[in-house]
Amino acid sequence: MRRILVTSVRVPKRERRLHEVFRRLRNTKHKVDFVTAQMRDKGKFGNINTALATVKLQDYDWVVITDDDVALPPRFLDGFISLCEVMGLKISQPAHRYHSYTSFTFNYRKWNSLGRITRYVEDGPVTAFHRDAMAYVYPFPELRWAWATDIAFCNAARRNHHNVGIVDYTAIEHLKPAGQDYPMQAAKAEARAFLSRQALRPDRRELFRNMEILRDIHPDRLTYDGTLPNGPARHMARGPALKHQP
């Protein structure tokens, strides 16, 4: 059992949606606490920083940031967190179902895959941070539109020799397109300026690349495709093999 902190931003007139997401996340073997911040005149991660400032982060193994416009599979956290830990992921996201709204096709569920070690994890709609990653990503950059925040925290993970990745087994559905509620051109301009300040020049071909694909879990080994530059992340699997959800 892990201690997990789930955090989100409360958007006016959308409390029922967030309540449903939280209801789903409570259905787990893990110990889950919830902390939210009312939406203010700042960006997503500015509001998340406000929420996280009210708790002792060192008490938690994982911090999960979620939006309110997602549909989650049953007992989502059980499979998701287990596979994150099997693959040694420190920053992770669930894959998207094929009828989900996503910014990049790279994030869609990959069939015959339990999960992937990648170079990129998106900053929503659901993103998880292990306590080891929280040590260097928190507080989050307080960008108004939050674009490119994910590129920065994935880069920080690489500097710390940590894996990031996508869990295909627990694919979720994002219920509306990104960018409907804010000016996309302003978001792009802010992101470019942020990346310039951070001296980051991301290459799309390098970002959207699967480094390792977890195909199967056996009692004594994991079956991966692909090779990491410094060798694959290998861990001993515990318990019975997981079966794909429909």
Domain for residue 237, yes or no?
A: no
Q: What CATH number should be reported for the domain holding residue 156?
A: 3.90.550.10
pLDDT of 234 reads: 45
Contact between 159 and 185 (Cβ < 8 Å): no
- 234 found inside a domain: no
Give the pLDDT of residue 225.
Answer: 84
- Quick check: is 239 in a domain? no
Residue 143 is encoded by which pair of tokens?
A: 């960008």
Q: CA-to-CA distance for 164 and 119, rounded, in angstroms?
A: 6
How confident is the model at residue 236, as a pLDDT?
Answer: 38
CA 235 – CA 246 distance, rounded (Å) = 26
13: exposed, middle or buried (C-beta count within 10 Å: 0-12, 13-18, 19+)? exposed
Number of structural domains, the chain? 1
pLDDT for residue 179 = 65
pLDDT in tens, 129-152: 999 999 999 999 999 888 999 999
Answer yes or no: is 113 within a domain.
yes
User: What's the distance, Cα to Cα, between the start and end of the chain in Å?
Assistant: 25
The pLDDT value given to residue 164: 98
pTM score of the predicted model: 0.90
In a domain, 190, yes or no: yes
Residues of the chain with pLDDT under 70: 179-180, 227-246
Q: What residue has token string 């996340």?
A: 25
Which among 220, 224, 223, 215 is positioned nearest to 236, based on CA atoms? Answer: 220
Measuring CA to CA, how many Å separate 215 from each of 161, 187, 218?
A: 23, 37, 10
Whether residue 246 is contained in a domain is answered as: no
Measure the CA–CA gap between 54 and 102, rounded to whole angstroms: 31
**What's the mean pLDDT when you consider all of the chain?**
90
What does the pLDDT read at residue 246? 38
Distance, C-alpha 183 to centroid of its chain: 24
CB 63 within 8 A of CB 134: yes
Query: CA–CA separation, 6 vs 25, rounded Å?
Result: 8
Asked if residue 241 belongs to a domain, the reply is no
Domain span including residue 98: 3-225
Contact status, residue 108 vs residue 210, Cβ threshold 8 Å = no
Q: What is the pLDDT of residues 174-222, one digit of tens each?
A: 999 876 677 888 989 999 999 999 999 999 889 999 999 999 998 888 8
